[in-house]
Amino acid sequence: MSLNSNLVNIVVFASGSGSNFKSIHQKIKEGEISGKIKIVVSNNPNSGALKYAISEGIPIFIHNKVRFHNEEKYYESLSKKLIEVNAELLVLAGFMKKIPDEIVAHFERRIINIHPSLLPKFGGKGFFGMNVHRAVIQLGEKESGASVHFVNKIYDDGPIVAQSVITVNDNESPEDLAARVLVEEHKLYPEVVKAFCENRILWENNKPIIVKGN
C-alpha cells in the first residue's frame, strides 16, 4: 500500500446520524482530503448515516448479528467486504459495536476513532454520547473536548493522535456541552483523516505525531 499515490480507500463505520462521516465526506467532495469513501458499514439499517450514504451514491453494508449470527460468519463477512474494497483506512464515526480483534490486528495503525472527551479521561465501556458529557459536568471538570485515537483491542485505549480542548462553562447543561464538543469533532476528525491520507502521521516511540504539510 502506498499512501502517496491516488486516493486512499476509506471505509466508514457508523451506527447513528453519521454527522462526523458527513463532515469528512464534505471535505472529500471539496477536494480537501485525498481519499475516497468506498463503503459505509453500519449495524443499524435505519441509521441516518446509511440514508446519507445512499443519497450520495456511496455503497453500504449492513453488518450485525441479525444478518450474521454465527461468530465466524460475522467476522468473515466483514473481513471479506474490507478485502473486496481494498480498504486502507477504517474510520469509526459513532460506531456502537466493537470491531473484531482479528480485524483490529490486521489493520493496526489504520483504524481511527473519535471520542467526545479528552482521553484517557471518560473513556472505556459505557462512556459514549451523553453519558460522557453528564460525567464531565458531574465531576466538575474545567475542560472537555474531542480526541481522535488509533484503535486497539480495548475501548478508547489506543494511541491518541489529536485532541481539541474547550472550556466547560459554569452551569452548562450536558446537552449544551455535547453540542459544543460536536462542533470540535467536525473540525478535528477531517483534519486527522486528511493527515493520514497525506502520509503525515508519523510514529515516534509508539506515539503518533501529525507533521505539517507543505
Q: Kindly report the backbone phi and psi dihedral angles of residue 16, in degrees, each rounded to the nearest multiple of 5, phi listed first.
A: -115, -135
Number of structural domains (the chain) is 1
- Alpha-carbon gap, residue 55 to 102, rounded angstroms: 32
pLDDT at residue 4, as a whole number: 42
The answer to whether residue 172 sits within a structural domain is yes
| pLDDT category of residue 214 using cuts at 50, 70 and 90 | low
Query: Is residue 132 in a domain?
Result: yes
Looking at the DSSP bridge assignments, the partners of residue 143 are: 167
pLDDT tens profile 170-206? 999 999 999 999 999 999 999 999 999 999 999 999 9
How many whole angstroms separate alpha carbon 157 and alpha carbon 60?
28
Cα 136 from chain centre:
21
Domain of residue 39, residue span: 8-210
- Active-site residue, from 25, 115, 133, 149: 115
What distance lies between CA 80 and its chain's CA centroid?
A: 21
Does residue 13 sit within a domain? yes
115 included as an active-site residue:
yes
- Global pTM reads 0.94
Give the strand order in the sheet containing 60-62: 60-62, 35-42, 8-13, 89-92, 111-115, 143-150, 160-167
Domain assignment present for 82: yes
Q: Is residue 153 part of a domain?
A: yes
CATH of the domain at 133: 3.40.50.170
pLDDT tens, position by position, 122-158: 999 889 999 999 999 999 999 999 999 999 999 999 9
82 phi/psi in degrees, rounded to 5: -65, -35
Residue 168 inside a domain? The answer is yes
Query: Residue 5 — pLDDT band, cuts 50, 70, 90?
Result: low
Q: What are the distances in angstroms from CA 21 to CA 25, 96, 168, 186?
A: 6, 14, 25, 9
> Does some domain include residue 147?
yes
Round the average pLDDT of the chain to a whole number and report it: 95
Average pLDDT over residues 95-107: 94
Of 105, 88, 106, 101, the closest CA to residue 33 belongs to 88
- Rounded to 5°, the CA angle 32-91-11 comes to 85
Is residue 1, in this structure, part of any structural domain at all?
no
pLDDT higher than threshold 80 for residue 45: yes
